[in-house]
Amino acid sequence: MLRNPFKTFLILLVFLTIGDVNALSPFKSKKQVDTVEKTLVPATDTWHEPPYTELQVIKAEKSLDAIPASINKIQILLQLSDWYQESFNSPKALEMAFQYAENALFISKSLHSDIYAGKCYLQLSMLYQLKNDNLMIEVIARKAIAVLNKTNQIDDLAESWVMVWSAKMRTSSPISQRLNPIFKAASLFEKSGNNRRIGDCYREISELYFSYSDFDNSIKFLKKAIFYYKAANLKEESFLPISSRLQIIYEAEKRNKDIVKLRNKTLLQQSKLKNEVFLRNSMVIFLLLLLIILGLLYKSFRFKKRTNKMLEIQQNEINKKNNTLQNLVVEKEWLLREIHHRVKNNLHMVVGLLASQTEFLKNEEAVQAINNSQNRIQAMSLIHQKLYQSENLSLIDMPSYIFELTEYLKDSFEIRNNIRFFLDIDGFNLPLSYSIPIGLIFNEAVTNSIKYGFPDHRNGTINISLKKNRSNSYVLIIHDNGIGLPADFDPYSNPSLGVKLMNGLAADIEGKFLITNSNGTKITLKFTINESNLD
C-alpha cells in the first residue's frame, strides 16, 4: 500500500542544491511547501509497478462479492484503493479509491481489527491529501494513530505521524507544531529500525530548521540523515545531493554571519556618528539653555527683591491688623464671659425673688409652680455659669452639666437616699442652642419622676442616659422604676405645662419626643445635629 518516495526526494534535493538558498526562507510559497512535503509523505512512485494490472483490477472487483468479510477481503480492498490512488487522473478514480478504503475500514471495524483499521485510516488520510483537504488529513491521521497505538505496527504508526506533519506543513502552522509530529515519526522509525525513513525524517527536520535560519540544528540533523541513509545501505550517489546540501548550509551560515557582522559594524559606525552629532548639538543646546537660565535667574532675583520689599510692607500691615483683631477677640471673649456671668447672676436674682415670693403665698399650687420655675431658671443659669467658666464660650460639656443639674435637683427635693440616680453620659460638647432645650427637658423629666413616680417617699431608681450614635445623632433617655403613667394619660393632649414644655422644646431642636410606660415612666428624646453646628 505504501510506496518509497526516495527517487522523488533525490530530484527535489538536486533542485534545491542548484537553486538559491533563499528559496527555503520562512516565506516559501505553497507550491514549494508541497514539493518538500511530497519527499517524505508516502505517495505513488512512478518507478514502481502498481499492485495490479488493469485486467487484475477488473477481476478483483468482480470477485469481491463472492469473498466473505475477512482479512483477505480487507487486503484486496486496500490494494484496489491503492491502485486507483496510483492511477489518479480523474475525480472518479479518486472517488473509487475512497470507496474501497471506506469499505475496508467498515469490515475492519466489524472484525475488530485494530491493525487493519489503522491501515485503512492511514490510506484515507493519504487520499485526503490528494483531495487537498488539509483539515481531514490531520483528523483521519490522528484516528489512525489512536488505533495503531494499540498494535505493534510501528511503521504504520510512524507514517500516520508523517501525515500529521504533512497537514501542519500545508497549513503553515508554527515551527513547533511542524517539528513535533516529524520528531515523533523519526523516533518510531528508529524503534522499528527503518533507517531509510529515519533519514527522510531527519532530512525534513533539517530543512525546517534551515528555513528559519537555524543553521546549527539544520547541519546537525542533515548529518544524522546521511548517517541513517548509509546505515540503510543506500549507494552514495543516491544521497549525494544531500551531501552537497551540507556545503550549501555551511556557506549560507557563513554568509549569514558575515552579513550580521557587516550589519553590526555599519550600525556601530552609524551609532558613533549619531552620538557625535548628538553630543555636539547637546553642547550647543546646553550653552543656550545655560545663558537663558542665567538671564531668567537674574530677572527672577530682581523681581524677588522688589516683591520681598512689597511683601515686607504688607506683612507689617497684616501684623498690625492681626494685633488689633487679636485684641478685639480677647475683648469679645471677655465681654461674652461678662455677659454670661451677668445673665447667671440675674437668673440667680430671679430665683431669689421667686423664693422670697413663696413666703407670702398660701396656695400650694402657686408655691409648686414657683418652685418649678426656680428649677427651670436654675437649669438655664447653670449653663451660663459653665460657659463663663470654660475656655470655649459656645459649647457645653454635657457630662459635667447633667451631673451638676442632677445634684441640684436632688438637693432641691431633699430626697436623701430614697431615690438613687444612675448616669451613663458619653463625653461630648453641645452648642448653646441645643444644651438649653435639653437641660429644660431633663429638668422637667427628672422633676416629674421625683414628684410623681415615687409617692409616699418610696425607694426607687432613675436611670439617665445620653448617648451619641453615628452620623451625629443623639439619644436622651430618662427612665424611672416608679408607679408609671396613669392609664388614661395621653402625652399629645395632656394640659400639663411640663409636658407641653417638653414637646415644644423637642420641636425647637427638631427632635423626636416620646413618653411611654415601661416598668415605670420612660422619656426618650432623639435628635440630630449638623456638623457645622458643632464647630
Q: Kindly state the average pLDDT of the residues 461-488.
A: 87
Phi, psi values for residue 268, rounded to 5°: -65, -45
At which residue does the C-alpha cell 477481503 appear?
73
Phi, psi values for residue 520, rounded to 5°: 130, -165
DSSP letters spanning 91-157: HHHHHHHHHHHHHHHHHHHHTT-HHHHHHHHHHHHHHHHHTT-HHHHHHHHHHHHHHHTTSS-HHHH
Residue 402 vs residues 116, 251, 440: alpha-carbon distances, Å? 104, 104, 11
Which pLDDT tens digit goes with each residue over 429-447?
888 788 888 888 888 888 8
Give the burial string for 95-127 (b: 16+ CB within 10 Å, else e).
Answer: ebbbebbebbbebbeeeebbbbbbbbbbbbbbb
Q: Which helix (H) or strand (E) holds 524?
A: strand 521-528
pLDDT reading at 25 higher than 50: no
Which pLDDT tens digit goes with each residue over 185-235?
999 999 999 999 998 999 899 889 888 888 888 888 888 888 898 888 877
Amino acid at 187: S
Average pLDDT score over the chain: 79
What does the pLDDT read at residue 257?
Answer: 66
Interaxial angle between packed helices 6-18 and 240-358, expressed in degrees from 0 to 180 and rounded to the nearest 10: 80
Count of C-beta atoms within a 10 Å radius of residue 433: 12
What does the pLDDT read at residue 110?
Answer: 95
Compute the distance between CA of residue 455 and CA of residue 445 in angstroms, rounded to an integer.
16
Residue, of 369 and 395, whose pLDDT is higher: 395
Name the pTM for this structure.
0.44
Cβ atoms 380, 440 nearer than 8 A: yes
pLDDT bin (cut points 50, 70, 90) of residue 4 is very low
Compute the distance between CA of residue 212 and CA of residue 303 in angstroms, rounded to an integer.
68
